[in-house]
Copies of this chain bind each other. A is one copy, B any other.
Amino acid sequence: MTKKVFPMRTISPEGAPIPSHAKLAFKGKVFEVWQWEQKLFDGSVETFEQLKRQNTAQVIPVVGDNILIQLESQPNVSQSFLSLPGGRCLPDEKSLDAAKRELLEETGYTSNDWILCKEQNSIGRIDWTVYTYIARNCIFQKPQQLDSGEKINTRLVTFDEFLMLSEDQSFYERELIPMLLYARFDQKIKDEFRNLLFKKR
């Protein structure tokens, strides 16, 4: 299914779903491996394999005239990197609830004004969606509460600095780069994105 709310709000097409007769071949800490017998075009049969993982919720937090980004370290990654607040949805947790939870845990901020900006379905061999929310008018609530696998420093950047993250090799959120490029190169799209983030409504 393809639904396009272009340019600044996009839902990408879904990949092939894991068929209902597939079997769980392995359940790891993060990934599940599913396999099934797939009939090919000539009638022969082959074992196909796809992955499944919990969806991800990601947040673009608006604080005053700025956007909050993170400088993040992880225990198995040698270099720190730039990221947005976010993380895995818990089992049965809706993506918006995960977005609110992760924003509060990682930054201490909350918002009462949320917009779903992007829904990126993986089209490869993995059943996984990344939801990107805009959290408008964020307010600082309490100190961040990190788990022992996280080190996160927050910083505020201007809208233009945010768009230029598309050039930054240490920016982790690669799936957002097309959106940032559109806004850099097309004034109309840039205005629309700026309004989505900052304009009173």
Contacts and interface: CB of A to CB of B under 8 A. Distances in A.
A112 interface: no
B47 A29 contact: yes
Interface string A29-41: 1110101001111
A42 B148 contact: yes
Given A48-B29, A49-B31, A51-B31, A39 B75 contact: yes
Interface of A: 2, 4, 12-13, 15-16, 19, 25-26, 28-31, 33, 35, 38-42, 44, 46-49, 51, 74-78, 123, 125, 148-151, 166, 169-170, 172, 174, 177-178, 181-182, 184-186
Contacts of A44: 148
22 contacts: A2-B169, A12-B169, A13-B170, A16-B78, A19-B76, A25-B28, A29-B47, A31-B49, A31-B51, A38-B75, A39-B75, A40-B75, A40-B149, A41-B148, A41-B151, A42-B148, A44-B148, A177-B178, A181-B181, A181-B182, A181-B185, A184-B185
A80 B47 CA distance: 21
A160 B33 CA distance: 40
